[in-house]
């Protein structure tokens, strides 16, 4: 939702110009703008995920001193 009246008019103008370009109604253009923005968000999220997956692994956590403590082997 637009934060101000100016934002509302900017969004309407963007939709109107796209509607003229595509030869559709402004409402259809608004939906197309929403699809474009959703696609951009999804692409950015995929890029962030790829960056995290390809990042070098951090060093392993130090081994706990009491990992082999007798109380850990009780059933």
**Residue 42 near residue 61, CB atoms below 8 Å:** no
The full set of domain ranges for the chain reads 5-54
pLDDT tens sequence across 40-52: 999 999 999 999 9
Looking at residues 68-72, what average pLDDT do you find? 70
pLDDT tens sequence across 12-42: 999 999 999 999 999 999 999 999 999 999 9
Distance CA(52)–CA(64), nearest Å, equals 27
Alpha helices, DSSP H only, in the chain? 5-22, 26-54
Q: Is 1 helix (H, G, I), strand (E, B) or coil?
A: coil
Q: Could you tell me which residues come within 8 angstroms of residue 54 by beta carbon, excluding any fewer than 6 positions away?
A: none
**Residue 32 near residue 20, CB atoms below 8 Å:** no
DSSP state at residue 43: H
pLDDT band at 67 (very low <50, low <70, confident <90, very high): low
């Amino acid at each position: 939702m637009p934060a101000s009246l100016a934002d509302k008019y900017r969004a309407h103008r963007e939709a109107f110009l796209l509607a003229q370009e595509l030869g559709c109604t402004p409402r259809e253009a608004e939906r197309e703008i929403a699809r474009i923005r959703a696609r951009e968000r999804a692409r950015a999220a995929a890029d962030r995920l790829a960056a995290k997956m390809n990042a070098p692994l951090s060093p392993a956590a130090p081994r706990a001193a009491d990992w082999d403590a007798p109380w850990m082997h009780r059933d």
